[in-house]
Structure 1
Amino acid sequence: MRMWISLLALCLGLMPALAATQQTSPDTPAIITLDWTLAETLTAIGHPPAGVAQIADYHSWVGKPILPADTIDLGLRSQPSMELMAAMNPDLLLITPMFANMADQLKAIAPVVTVPLYDPQADTWQTLEDMTRALGRMAHRETAAQALIRETTTMLDARRARLHGCGPLLVIQFADDRHVRVYGGNSLYQHVLDRLGIRNAWTGAVNRWGYRLLALHELAKLNGRIVIIEPVPLGTLARLQNNALWRGLPVVKRQPPRVLPPVWSVGGLPSVQRFARLLEQMACKP
């Protein structure tokens, strides 16, 4: 209870300062968002959101682009601070369908726009391009949005030729010392692999987020080079060096796994570029 009272007092104390800093012109609309994919895309086109939920976790899971130091942390993605967001007086509050249950409540703060993302029934690449253009219009950064789309297409085409012969790859994240999320389906990783002509070693079913949770022993029958996407639970990689099950897996013994910095598994075009770049630099080297 005391924590919430302190938070409310902080929000109330910040209100005059926030109101002063959020004075905007039609050319610089103040946008806040709970969603990291929208946040990274807005940042990439030169209009970073004024506020984002769970900023520290954004940097742990998304990596780059880094949010400006003055970006305000809105609290938990599932339980953002309504008082703080209201005090910021934003022009727009952007969400994705993941946050649809909060839409009515958020509308009391600012106009809410729901941006579609990663619908298994839709063309993912078209959705990502449409999302980028929509954000460009809302942020008045249409030219930058179009440039991001062109740059992404150009860099993928260039890397496809250079990465010929890479793979198959098995893209995973560690849930804990004994379980991994293996990615395929509608994940960003799968779509980038497809665009680069790299075969995914995992062809099994996945959940709506594009992964399947497997115990370590279930990797025994799989082939390909393991690509571990950070973040990794603290101490896990060190403990794996003494884990006989892990060290004995054929997929581990055949080729040393590669560890990549964070790339958001349901990210936008900035994450697409980041993953493709890291595959070339770190995963597809002999």
Structure 2
Amino acid sequence: MTASALPMTVPAPGLPARVRIHEVGPRDGLQNESAVVPVETKAEFVRRLAGAGLTTVEATSFVHPKWVPQLADAEQLFPMVSGLPGVRLPVLVPNGRGLDRALALGAREVAVFASATESFAKANLNRTVDEALAMFEPVVTRAVEHGLRVRGYVSMCFGDPWEGAVPLAQVAGVCRRLAEMGCDELSLGDTIGVATPGHVTALLDALGEEGVPVSRLAVHFHDTYGQALSNTLAALRHGVSVVDASAGGLGGCPYAKSATGNLATEDLVWMLDGLGIETGVDLGRLTATSVWMAEQLGRPSPSRTVRALSHKE
């Protein structure tokens, strides 16, 4: 990539020196594609992402194939990529059976998927919030007993398509309960992309008051209203240093039809590079990977940075 295709580095005060990007494209991105991507292509996608310098790549989900047929090949895929050196490969486990499948393949990191609202818990898990947390507790406990790192996703942290605005205390309470279960990291999901920077700051303040330290938090923004990068910057200013993103902007949410794509990893890296924040990611290689995946899917990438840089080639 030429120097003209890189942002000018102008650091800003009060930001972390390094951000770890939690790449969700192979799981959260591909599970929302109408077509089922061949397992060989998925494995190559993971390898290329790792080759671009991403050290955390969420590989797949051990959910029942009936619910997410796009990831029905989890048992085939995980052994194809599990030997990548220096790369963390977390997987989603919806219940005890999912954890069994992940453990059998030697997974070292898992994630559970909770909701801050009753409506989404019902739509996504067919349970109340309390029932879902009760289901996750033995899963998290057993994972910790096996020495696994556990991430807790919390959906609808900023707004719900059925309930509207979500009270900060309600989100903070769910996060606290997941932390008390043993989740090492909590990912705050703006599932329908309605957050704004002030809202992000207010939620992070509320979590601090609830006793959930910023060191255990990650953010997961969707770009429905074009706010994902500004929301990310607000989180960084508050001390968050783990950001979820999806290569090429793949993904949405199958149970929230108003949700659009995740924050594109390339757009995030462009901003972080410009701020002088270290990520270890090679933007050129990452862009090439997303261009390649877009070709496999038969449509252009929604990432603005991918479009801009691929047109420069």
* Fold-level similarity (TM above 0.5): no
Query: Rg larger in 1 or in 2?
Result: 1
Higher relative contact order (CA 8 A, sep 6+): 2
User: Normalising to structure 2: TM-score of the pair?
Assistant: 0.26
TM-score, normalised with respect to structure 1: 0.27
